[in-house]
Amino acid sequence: MKPAPFAYHDPSTVDELMGLLAERENARLLAGGQSLMPMLNMRYAMPDHLIDLNGIGDLAGVAETGEAVEIGAMTRQRDLPGSRPAAGRFPILAEALAHVGHFQTRNRGTVGGSLCHLDPSAELPCVAAATDAVLVVRGQDGEREVAMADWPTAYMTPNLAADEALVRIRLPRSAALDGQAFAEFARRHGDFAIVGVAAMLSLDGDTIRRASLAVAGVGPQPVRLAEIEAALAGEQANEATFKAASGEARGIEAMSDAYVSGKYRRRLTGVLVERALAKAAERAREAA
Amino acid sequence: MENPRHTHRIALTVNGAPVEAEVEDRLHLGDFLRRELSLTGTHLGCEHGVCGACTVMVDGQAVRSCLMLAVQARGRAVTTVEGLAADDGTLSPLQEAFREHHALQCGFCTPGMLTSLTAFLRDNPAPTDREVREAISGNICRCTGYQPIVAAALAAAGAKAAEEEN
């Protein structure tokens, strides 16, 4: 038995959850547990109260409104690829999820859990950045919305107060471009990515109308390549254009760690940007 | 102060049999199976979700038993490696194929391989070699005997397909 002692709570409604969060000090929320449970087992995390979200049915499931796809925070990673509204509009979700851990961890792991854990190399926050996701947070006085760009406040730290909880993720339908692709490099299948790239393109014939590019693994949070996106608009969707974008992407600031140098991460970013753009263009043409 | 010892009473089924127990909140499912129920077929390797040795099925889904609390298994149906063979000891087709293909050496990873592949082959009864490799990418065999494991999984799938055709 590795975790330090804690009191387990299993609310069945969001209101009950809010009550617990208001009363209990040093509480942690347990979503799928695929990151928090290791942290508890290793005693990196030692909460006094563990509040299990798995019994709150309202937090799971995908809904489509006129403007957006709304993904409940407790939606399991395994359930997204088969979700028509989510993977239909955003097939990049399914492609990115194939890289998230293994099928056994995706059976428990959740979308909201990944977005709150904010591992720098995580795929779902990268896709959320590329798709202009809005995170809906429930607090003691109701809901507030946070743009993905403002969601990470520091290394592995979401914009979330101790008495708040992420309840759903909204992906605006306007952010779903015609061709979408996710490319990453990891040493072994299912390992944490060294670098991952989310790319989306909409084309007018062979001309790029709009582009979206986000990179995981280079810094503490996913990075949108806004300048490259702007430069791509109006260009021909061809190899020369993607090579130029790749060259620009190599200029990204990238961290070094004990295993991988920043230089290698920059190089990898260039390679993956080119691959993901080419794939996205191919898919945009197929969709046309 | 409520519940100062931080325990919960749970009822669940394990390999088809009903089980009731008082468990400490912080006890994970893998330790519960091994220590409280003496089902030591489930092996604990890394206990942070990386090695896959502790994989069991909860309501039919393969999950890491080290990354789930025993209290979270309340009301669920848990299947461990001990529950794969028939009651009379007849091995499942996958277990039989493991024996046939020498798909285990030291045996440490075997329970996780068997539970993972049992769930995988149920959902994907005619997998490709690549799909089998991806399915066990989260199960580490430190004897590195992956080839016979893949061969056994493919053979079990083939045997099942042949059985269904007849």
pLDDT tens, A205-221? 999 999 999 999 999 99
pLDDT of residue A236: 98
- How many Cα atoms are found within 13 Å in the side-chain-facing hemisphere of A159? 15
Closest residue on chain A to B133 (Cα): A189
Answer whether residue B129 is part of any domain.
Answer: yes
pLDDT of residue A191: 87
Vertex A10: Cα angle to A4 and A14 (nearest 5): 125
Tell me the nearest-neighbour CA distance from A142 into chain B, angstroms. Answer: 28
- Per-residue pLDDT band for A188 (boundaries 50, 70, 90) equals confident
pLDDT of residue A275: 98
Asked whether residue B79 falls in the same domain as residue B102, the answer is no
**Are β-strands A223-224 and A207-216 bridged in parallel, bridged antiparallel, or unpaired?**
antiparallel
Asked whether residue B154 falls in the same domain as residue B117, the answer is yes
Judged by CB atoms closer than 8 Å, whether chains meet at A6 and B6 is answered as yes
CATH fold of the domain at A177-287: Enolase-like; domain 1 (3.30.390)
Mutation site, B8, B9, B25, interface A, largest A CB count within 10 A: B25
Answer whether residue B46 is part of any domain.
Answer: yes
| Per-domain boundaries in chain A | 7-52, 62-174, 177-287
Q: Which residues of A touch B (CB under 8 A)?
A: 1-8, 10, 30, 33-34, 37-38, 40-42, 50, 52, 54, 78, 101-105, 107-108, 188-190
Answer whether residue B78 is part of any domain.
Answer: yes
Those residues whose C-beta lies under 8 Å from the C-beta of residue A123, and which sit 6 or more positions away, are A96, A97, A99, A100, A114, A182, A184, A193, A196, A216
Asked whether residue B100 falls in the same domain as residue B39, the answer is no
Point out the residue among B31, B52, B55 whose CB comes nearest to the CB of A1. B31
Q: Which class would CATH give A62-174?
A: alpha beta
Final residue belonging to a domain, choices B31, B60, B83: B83
What is the arithmetic mean of pLDDT over A44-67? 97
Which residues of chain A make contact with B68, given a CB cutoff of 8 A? 33, 37, 108
Provide the number of structural domains found in chain B. Answer: 2
Asked whether residue B62 falls in the same domain as residue B117, the answer is no
The tokens describing A272, both together, are 């993956």
CATH architecture of A7-52: 2-Layer Sandwich (3.30)
Asked whether residue B23 falls in the same domain as residue B75, the answer is yes
Answer whether residue B126 is part of any domain.
Answer: yes
Asked whether residue B75 falls in the same domain as residue B99, the answer is no
Judged by CB atoms closer than 8 Å, whether chains meet at A8 and B49 is answered as no
Asked whether residue B106 falls in the same domain as residue B156, the answer is yes
Closest residue on chain B to A101 (Cα): B138
Asked whether residue B111 falls in the same domain as residue B76, the answer is no
- Per-residue pLDDT band for B1 (boundaries 50, 70, 90) equals very low
Those residues whose C-beta lies under 8 Å from the C-beta of residue B107, and which sit 6 or more positions away, are none
Asked whether residue B77 falls in the same domain as residue B97, the answer is no
Tell me the nearest-neighbour CA distance from A1 into chain B, angstroms. Answer: 6
Residues of the domain holding B27: 7-83
Final residue belonging to a domain, choices B34, B59, B83: B83
Closest residue on chain B to A7 (Cα): B6
pLDDT of residue A288: 84
Domains A7-52 and A62-174 share a fold: no
Judged by CB atoms closer than 8 Å, whether chains meet at A102 and B72 is answered as no
Asked whether residue B45 falls in the same domain as residue B77, the answer is yes
Share of chain A above pLDDT 90, in %: 97
> If you search the block for the tokens 């690549």, which residue do you land on?
B130
- Report chain A's mean pLDDT, rounded to a whole number: 97
Asked whether residue B76 falls in the same domain as residue B11, the answer is yes
